[in-house]
Amino acid sequence: MSKPQKLHLIRDVLDKLLVDRDNVPLGRVDGIVLLLRGEQTQPRVVQIECGMVTLWRRLSIRWADRTYRIGRRLGLRRQRPVRVDWSKIDNIGRELTLDVLAKHSPLLAGERWLLERVIRHIPGNGMKKET
């Protein structure tokens, strides 16, 4: 596990590409979740967040609310950001390497939904027909 002793969260973590152990891209870090225990202790990083609502919230609370409402009208169920435990990060470098497989990751749930509901029905999509 290669995590530096001194880490600048904004520079070294936020907006970095996430990849699984096979270097499959999973998205980008849109937010950081800190744990605050008391006034005498320093905040501790517990999770990272990925998702459009988190990204919009960084820009504007109003845009985040609108994005959420539009998603609900379109019937998107998964509106909450995906949170990944800090302990799942194996390496911090140009990208953050996670100790997960892309195939089973909730980070790609939107892509799997799009594949099953839309892309599969497009002629010439390159997917094999199910028999």
Q: Domains, the chain, ranges and CATH?
A: 10-121 (2.30.30.240)
Output the six-digit token pair for 12. 């070294």
Give the chain's radius of gyration (CA, Å): 17
Does residue 98 register a pLDDT over 90?
A: yes
pLDDT for the residue numbered 1: 47
DSSP letter, residue 38: -
Does residue 127 register a pLDDT over 80?
A: no
pLDDT band at 55 (very low <50, low <70, confident <90, very high): confident
C-beta separation of 40 from 21 below 8 A:
no
The larger pLDDT score, comparing residue 73 to residue 5, is at: 73
